[in-house]
Amino acid sequence: MVYCYLPLPHTSQLPIHVNGHFWLSDSRRDLQHSTTHQLKDWNRELVQQTVLRAYVELLIHCKKFFVQGKAFTEWFYGLFPQPDIKGVLESFRLSEILFCYLFDNNTSILTSLNNPGSWLSFNGPDKGLFYSPLSYEPKRKVLVKLGLFLTDAPPELLRSLEASLASQKQSGTFSGRISPAFLRDHLCSIAQSMDDYQDVIKANIMPLLKFVVKDIQLGPQPIPNWKSVLQGVPLMLTNNDQLRLMCMVYDYRHSELLPTCQGYFIHKCIANDVDIYSILQNLGVIKMLADNPKFVADNLALPKPSNHKVLSLHEVDKKLLLLFWWYLSDCQSEDAFQSFSSFAAIPTTSDHLYQISRRKQILFAKSERIQLINKFKFPVLCLEKVFGKNVDYINFQIFFADPDNPNEILHLLLFYKENLPQLEHIDENEVYDLINFLNGSEELQESGSQIWLRELPLFYLLDKRISRIDYFGTVYGLYKNSIPFDGLADLTDMKKGLGFILIPMFCEKFLTKAGVDIVENHPHAVLQLYRVLICHFHRECFTPKTIFPHIERLRELYYQAGPSKRTRSSWNVIVTTLSSLKFIRLRDQSIAAPKDLYDPNCEIFKAFLKDSDFPPESWDSSQWLDFLEFLGLNRTVTSQLWLSFAKSLISTIESGNEDFSISKNKSLLLLANLAEQINQSDLSPDFLRRASCFAIVPCLHKRSPNNVLEHILPGFKMPIIGWNTVKGSVIQLEDHDWNLSCLSKPVLPDEFYFSPKLKNFNSIFEALGLCRVTPILAAENLRILSKILSECKELPNRKNNLKILHELRDLFLAHYTCINSCQEKDEHELKELLETSNCLYILDRHCSFQLLQGSHTVMKHADTMFSCVEVVPDYCKSLITFLKIIGSSDDLTIHHCCIFLKTLWHNTRHGRERLSPNDQEDARGAYYLFIELARLFEEPDGSIQQDLYEGNLPLLSEKETLELATTLLLNDAPWYKERLQRTSKSNCYKFIKTPPKDSFANPSLPEWLGVRLLSSVIRETSHPKMLNEVNLCNIERVAAVEGSSQCCPYLNHLKIVLKSGYFLDGLLRLIKYETKSPPSDELVEHLKSKLNSAKLVCVRLITTVLLDENNKEISNSLDSSSPCLIAPAEDGLSCTIYIAPHERDSSTTTDRTELLYRLFVGLNQQFGHVVHDSHIFMEML
């Protein structure tokens, strides 16, 4: 605020209050603004002289409070006037005059970045420079290191200074802002002492370069020369990391090509900046190396071999070679290639390096049109060895020999004629293509002969070589349609200069130009010629390879002009020689004559003879074989050959060194050939007898029924039984025999089939010892068939399943019918074969089938039927003999019950799962029927005995679950069970479901079932507290005190029962009833002595505990309600019988029947359970 002792309504540009003796208006509320008064300049002079100088002193005084840091800078420069404050009087605008004053007086008022704590001025020798860099420009610290004095005053201060100088018309006097031109001048000034600054410049070369060229404009106006802008500026960094004054250098692109000249290339970091690189290139600082091949040639490190020496590619640095060719790809000029003509730098496919001067002697690429050119192995450019794959270098094509230019190829042939390879096995068409191609050259278009062509390797010799012919005196050109030329070249006397050339098609003109005599042979004398030449076929110059074309030509003559009156004599000479001449090269490279070979089209020959016994594949056509037969080839199988083949097969089978399928195929061929000989010729009985004794018949079953099996079992394969003789093999003679396709014996194949109507059928049948289909054979077949079909879990998803099932039923019915027709003497053997076989085929309503044992079927449908038992199907009910053989019964038997219970037991995971309600009802019925039927047997039989022995007989438990009989208990002592239910071991015992009552109304079980009695597992013993005198009953205690013989009436009654013979007699009757025989005398005496030695005691209370099978006390089994207890003596020979018939509060209680029953159970325990069913004793009571 502005004050004149009192505040005025004005502000100044200063951040402080100003109080002065100002000239005021008459109201003393404003400054005087008069322009005519003599004091009109008072206020202005007061401000510009007094206030200004006072404020400058104030700023100088504030420098004393300097502290390094941003806080001081912001505070200090905040003291400078702010020219943009609104409402400031004209006389109080101190900003312009303040900055001009500081500028003119060189006042040190600016903080320094170079030396914190020192001060710089706006002007003068200690002038401070203002610099506000962008992100890509050099940092302030960089310029400080380059010797520039920078201030950290805010840029606003600079703008205020420039505005003040402009207002005072002094704008051209200030140069305190760092510009690109300023920096260029400064860098030029320090160039003399560049060593002191080069580290800083090199580290910040890119920001410095970007800044110094910032003011250079690239546009339509003329671009200045680099010397006028950058000359003397030390900002040129070369690729060898050397800092130099700005100068002309080469572009970085090919710098690696000249590793020793890196000082001539711009640094990579500058080249990678597109903007800087573009400016320097436009200014002319950067030159293109592609425009200076001479400089490259003067400094290139590639080899320069003398005398056109060819180098190996491995002798040269491949990386340098790659860089060189990259450089050439940029040049691509004839002058460039001329500059490098002495360098070995052309890589070829043969890994060689050729001099660039020889580029026209090197193919640019392999010929795609003429393959024969490639076989001459001319040097071929292969830049892939330098560049790698997938590099297109087509631009180099004009500098090399063009493979599609006949003139250049002709020149190559002339140049390399002494060094070309000897080409062999050349195709005639390749020669034609080459000559036809060369005919387009300018030299060959000239008329007249071209004798120099004989020096070129362009002529196709008879041995399929391509060669030059200038060393032959006389050369003949032969057509291909004359006699074969194989071997003729070897017959030619080379010393006399005689040669033969095969004339490629349409090349007569070319051969004529070369001076070749073309000769045509006439076919009418070929046969006579061979009659003369045939004697030479034994000479060494003729091999099977050279003879074969002549034999082929003779074969053609054989069909064109076969033996006749005119030619017979010639053919006789030829056949006599060729039949024994070894000219046929076999597969094992051996050589054979026709008379030693066999017809390869005869399968039996192919199976038994070696490959060396047949002509090779090139000879196996019908025409060849007919011609070889004319020369002596064997084509028929004799009896002796047949027998030798059979012996060979036997030896192979016994050694086991051959695959079964191969041996089987040989066997079929032998049998088919035997059948063919039987039907076509009369064979001697001796041959038939010998042939039938060879074990060469495999187990072949491919008959119509097998097709049904294959439909049901995909991938079905018949069982392999082995090998048998023809003698004993099955032959199917009847029309229905196809349904009995034998699975157990070898069946003769169809090829061996012959009709019984043949006149010699019986004698041949007897001589060969063949078998017919019988019931025994059908039974063996049926058992195997059933076993195979047991693998069928479900039918395939086919539309014709029902048809297949009916075919399968017919297949089984054919076996059943055959077996049903057996004789009585065969029934026992048939029963042993089929009794345990699942051979009865049953078709259900759901288009499926099952196979059951006969023992799982019944003839009649019972009221109670089990799921595992089926009724015999109607289609075979009439086959009584067959059903009896397989064990089918009329009604349900104990075996059916056992099968059903075992099936349920397996379905419930051996009793671990509960039965469904329906299964519970069925299991209950089967269990009751099983018990009733079991009572009819004194001991088990058959499969039930086996199940008992193996412990696999399940029965129904009290909880209606299936458990094994050996794990169940029969509840013959209900009081034990009641006490067990109160203990922790109640779950350890499983009780059988109460059986149905027998004819005596007893729920008894046959002992052979293996179900144990509860009383045999649990026994009762006295508690120690019970054995004392106090516990005797009152009557006994009184009698003991009084010495009276009178005792308890219950005790008297019990003595009468035991001592009389009635109890013993009843016990013996029970034993006889259960065992179906009277007890032995020893047992009777044993029981009698046990009863007589028993001691009787009547007590008030019997306290007992239960013991398990291991004589361990069962916890929580203490009980005081037992009416009787039999305690054995320590010697085990006698026992004490305790009874407690009295209630504690009365002299009458216990039911005598219950007392006697418990007494019997206890005694039965002491006797060793001589009676199994205790319930019978209840009925006796």
Give the per-residue pLDDT at 1000: 65
What interhelical angle do 622-630 and 544-560 show, nearest 10?
Answer: 90
Residue 698 to residue 662: CA distance in whole angstroms: 11
Model pTM score = 0.43
Residue 1006 CB partners (closer than 8 Å, separation 6+): 934, 935, 937
**What pLDDT sits at residue 1147?**
45
Q: Specify the 3-state DSSP secondary structure of 834.
A: helix
945 Cβ partners below 8 Å, 6+ apart?
939
DSSP letter string, 1113-1135: BPTT--BS--SEEEEE-TTSS-E
- Spatial neighbors of 568 by CB under 8 A, at least 6 apart, are none
Report d(CA 1068, CA 808) in Å as an integer.
Answer: 62
- 1135 beta partners: 1128
Q: Identify the H or E element spanning 319.
A: helix 318-331
Mean pLDDT (10-residue bins), the chain, 1181 residues: 85 84 84 77 84 88 87 87 63 75 84 87 84 82 88 84 76 74 88 88 90 80 80 90 91 89 91 88 88 90 87 88 87 84 89 89 88 89 81 78 89 86 85 86 79 84 81 71 71 60 78 73 60 66 77 81 79 84 84 88 86 83 84 84 87 84 83 74 78 76 59 62 75 63 65 57 71 82 81 63 80 86 87 84 76 81 70 85 83 79 78 75 79 76 71 82 84 78 78 78 76 82 76 79 76 79 81 82 85 84 83 80 80 80 57 75 78 69 58
How far is residue 1109's CA from residue 353's CA, in Å, rounded to a whole number? 104
E strands present in 375-469: 459-460, 466-467
pLDDT (0 to 100) of residue 266: 92
Instruction: Please report the pLDDT score of residue 170 as a whole number.
Output: 64
Burial class (CB in 10 A: 0-12, 13-18, 19+), 547: buried
CA–CA distance, 684 with 682 (Å, rounded to integer): 7
C-alpha distance from residue 463 to each of 226, 258, 491, 522, 548 (Å) = 75, 55, 12, 21, 14
Per-residue confidence (pLDDT) for residue 565, from 0 to 100? 80
CB 95, CB 78: distance < 8 Å: no
Question: Which amino acid, residue 813?
Answer: L
Closest CA to 833 of 777, 875, 871: 777
Q: If phi over 0 gives left and psi between -120 and 50 gives alpha, with beta otherwise, what is residue 173?
A: alpha
Distance from C-alpha of 610 to C-alpha of 894, rounded to nearest angstrom: 67
Cα distances from 193 to residues 146, 234, 248, 432, 1122, in angstroms, run 11, 10, 22, 80, 129
Paired sense of beta strands 352-355 and 466-467, if any: unpaired
Burial class (CB in 10 A: 0-12, 13-18, 19+), 531: middle
Q: Please measure the distance between the N-terminal and C-terminal CA atoms of the chain and give it in whole angstroms.
A: 139
Classify residue 48 by its DSSP letter: I
1002-1026 per-position pLDDT tens digit: 677 887 787 888 877 888 888 877 7
Who contacts 211 (Cβ-Cβ below 8 Å, separation ≥6)? 133, 137, 138, 180, 183
pLDDT value at residue 1146: 47
Three-state DSSP string of 1019-1036:
EEEECHHHCCHHHECHHH
